[in-house]
A and B are shown apart, each in its own frame.
Chain A
Amino acid sequence: MPEDLKLKIADIVFSILPTDGIKGFSLNKNYTPFAADGEPDVVLETIRNGNPLLIKGGLSGEKTLFNTTLWNYEQADGRHIFNFSLSPKNNRPQRILALEPDYKKGKIILTKVRGLKNGILQSPFIYPIDQLLMISLLPLMQGLLVHSCGFKYKNKGYLFIGQSGAGKSTLSQIAGRNKGVHVLNDDRIAVRKKQGRFYVYGTPWHGTAEIVSSEKAPLAGFFFLKKDAKNSLRELSVPDIVSRLFKFSFLPFWDREGIASALKICEDIAVSIPCFEFSFTPDDRAFELIRKEVISYT
């Protein structure tokens, strides 16, 4: 019997089961550090050539609630249905992610099989299926996926937040040159509260520097990036931190409960972890300032 693929991301174990002619999976290299064992928290079955109508069969009251250029979200009988890469001809999706109301059990349905060689499916967990599942789950598990880079230094985690072009990959490379610094990711970091403490986790979803790590560290400080001609730190008010953190988190806009939890987590982080706006230059002086002014005191 084909074995399932297990991935552990942010201490959440995903089990992906091959069925229906799929003998196994191959992993893209950004996922290999996340292959793991353990009791799964989320179980996904892959179904090949599934008829979306049959799969969705019996689901009454289907309604598209969220629509983008790449995917849409429907809800039917409390179940979450994400349709990906809709054909302009017949609106038929290439893949479907159908999840139970708690997001912990579901199916990945391949209506158009691509990347299947000798029964081995390449990357069942591809963009944006993986991240949409993660951002739906995390707020319900005391967590957030944040648009940021982050590193671990002396067993503490530091998070640098900003949108595309803010300098996350550049800063990751600068920090990574320093002895003892372990970069967790240069574009997406998961934050979770466990046993009353916030942790930062590397994820497989890298930016242009292509840095991934499956390690974690207790969160000791976080920063909002601002490119500048000199390096400086500025304290921010709690409401400012909450609104910025909310903005730079990936949010489940289709889930009222998830959005409420995400906002609460932003507030919780803002009041419990040191935070600054970090104006920085793209060179070694940036890391030096963080090391002297923040790392020494946290």
Chain B
Amino acid sequence: MTRTTNTPLVEMRDISISFGGIKAVDHVTVNLFAGEVVGLLGHNGAGKSTLIKCLSGAYRPDHGQVFIDGQKVTINNPRDARAQNIETIYQTLALADNLNAAANLFLGRELINSAGLLDEAQMEAETRKIMARLNPNFRKFNVPVSALSGGQRQSVAIARAVYFNAKILIMDEPTAALGPQETQMVAELIEELKKQGLGIFLIEHDIHNVMKLCDRASVMKNGQLVGTVDVDKVTDDEILGMIIMGKQSNQGV
């Protein structure tokens, strides 16, 4: 872990959000430093995705603040989040199935030419460039993404997050739908992005991936934060204990 400064890249402080009386996220504080991968763990319904959607602009928290580089920011919608260089890879991938890879990659941020019209050729050329880096076998540039395999769709979603120079990357179970080879590809990508100084929030169920990829892990249960641990200093059993029992580990806090 390379913590160069003491100011976290992101700090989500005391975040709460409830839906119809149910507290989905209950006074949770997490932070993330540049060049670090923080795993967000917990059962289904523990509030991980909801918490992260407060950062990506999909939800507005009822309570709490978000700080980026120590500055308080207001994120009301996905556009605000993107303006802060926060990119998200959703579990559902959030791709428009009827559009091709380039159209999805640039969705909401289309390149336009001098006449104000979409510059399709330029967008396709840029898509070819980034895909050549991420997934050199990718060839299907002119078909709707519904015609792509799970791994290919995933690489389109990742390309979308990486292309726009993200500082903060949120990955919601990026390897859930992937085969072993593609999972390895994502793992290598995470390592590479980390070296470039990005901060990554990784929602992950597979404890082996957590131990391999994450620097720290924040565990949630029933909307509350159980605790945050340094992954190097705990065993996978201890993390599993936190997830299942909701008890704070003694080590590595």
The yes or no verdict on A and B being binding partners is no
The chain A residues found within 8 Å of chain B, CB to CB, are none
The residues of B with any CB-CB pair to A shorter than 8 Å are none
